[in-house]
Structure 1
Amino acid sequence: MPLDQAFIGREYPPTPPYEVGREKIREFADAVHDDSEVCRDTDAAKAAGHPDVIAPPTFAVILSMGAHDALVGDPELGLDYSRVVHGQQEFVHHRPIRAGDRLVTVVHVDDIMARAGNDFLTVRAEVGSVDGERVCTATSLLVARGTAEEGDQA
């Protein structure tokens, strides 16, 4: 069943706060093979002008994908996540994510279109501090394979 375009513009409630820890940053840096000292050493990060170690730019995927749970679990949308592939990802950083941050994420449905029998869902995750400071905008394109009507075209 195709996704309902009435969901375009929908915003989901903020996630519970996520506290960014030094060890999580270090583990993520290891996983993505980022050897930068600003991700591992507090003194190096401070020398570079940061208050603490900073996360690699793609660390924001932890927050954005976690926030997608509200969308994926929305029975009204009816997204069959077993049919979804991640088509594209973009991050716009307003400032680095750093150890000690307490971050919340709000998910927005920016677009839904059908093409060649697939639904294309553009989801924007706004990551910010619990105090309201903008930190990162993560935009994802999710492709739900075979869910749109063959005749549906955007």
Structure 2
Amino acid sequence: MTSTALDRSYTGRVYPPTRPYEVGREKIREFAAAVGGSGGGGGDGLVAPPTFPVVLSMAAERVVADDPGLGFDFSRVLHRDQRFEAVRPVRAGDRLTVTVEVLDAGTVDGNDVLRLRGHVREAAGGALVCTTTSTLVSRRPAGAEGAGS
């Protein structure tokens, strides 16, 4: 999507919830090992580390970034910021969905900036588990003239 300009009208758009993701003990253990921890349950895989929702949120955010109408070039992306606000811990056996909201789609110094919020909820009942906020920057190609340069 390198030839398409970022469509700023996507700001405020909310994407439908993802298919339910079942949190497994082994997935929690693998994630905890990858981030150098043991999970909240002492390594038994029952309680996930607080950043575990990135597994779900990044996949949901990629759907937004790959939306052809948005015009965001993911091949040049830099993940600038990621935040988590937990309502409760993620546990083995949870079935979760993510709804992604485009908080802002804009351009800064010729770089496209996409700020997204993910609402991680229980698949049954919809109770909020965690909110994620991330900022993705698609860097302008070398030598390209950009706004504010």
Does TM-score exceed 0.5, indicating one fold?
Answer: yes
> What letter matches 1:109 in structure 2?
V
- Displacement after TM superposition at 1:41 (Å): 2.6
* % identical aligned pairs: 51
Structure 1 stretches of at least 4 aligned residues deviating more than 3 Å after TM superposition: none
- Displacement after TM superposition at 1:36 (Å): 4.8
TM-score, normalised to structure 2, is: 0.88
> What letter matches 2:137 in structure 1?
V
Aligned counterpart, 1:12: 15
Return closer, same or farther for 1:144/1:39 CA change in 2, 3 Å cut-off: farther
Contact preservation (8 Å) 1:114, 1:152: no
Aligned counterpart, 1:24: 27
Q: Which has the higher helix share?
A: 1
> What letter matches 2:44 in structure 1?
D
Q: Does 1:142 align with 2:145?
A: no
Task: Report Cα offsets for 1:111-150 as digits up to 9, x if no partner.
Answer: 1221111111101111000121100101000001117962
Aligned counterpart, 1:50: none
Q: How does 1:5-154 map to 2 (within 5 A)?
A: 5-36=8-39, 38-41=41-44, 53-130=46-123, 131-146=125-140, 150-151=146-147
Moved more, 94-103 or 113-122: 113-122
**Cα RMSD after superposing both structures:** 1.9
Any gaps of 5 or more consecutive residues in structure 1? 43-52
Return closer, same or farther for 1:15/1:152 CA change in 2, 3 Å cut-off: farther
Q: Distance in 2 between matches of 1:15 and 1:39?
A: 30
Q: Distance in 1 between matches of 2:145 and 2:15?
A: 27
TM-score, normalised to structure 1, is: 0.85
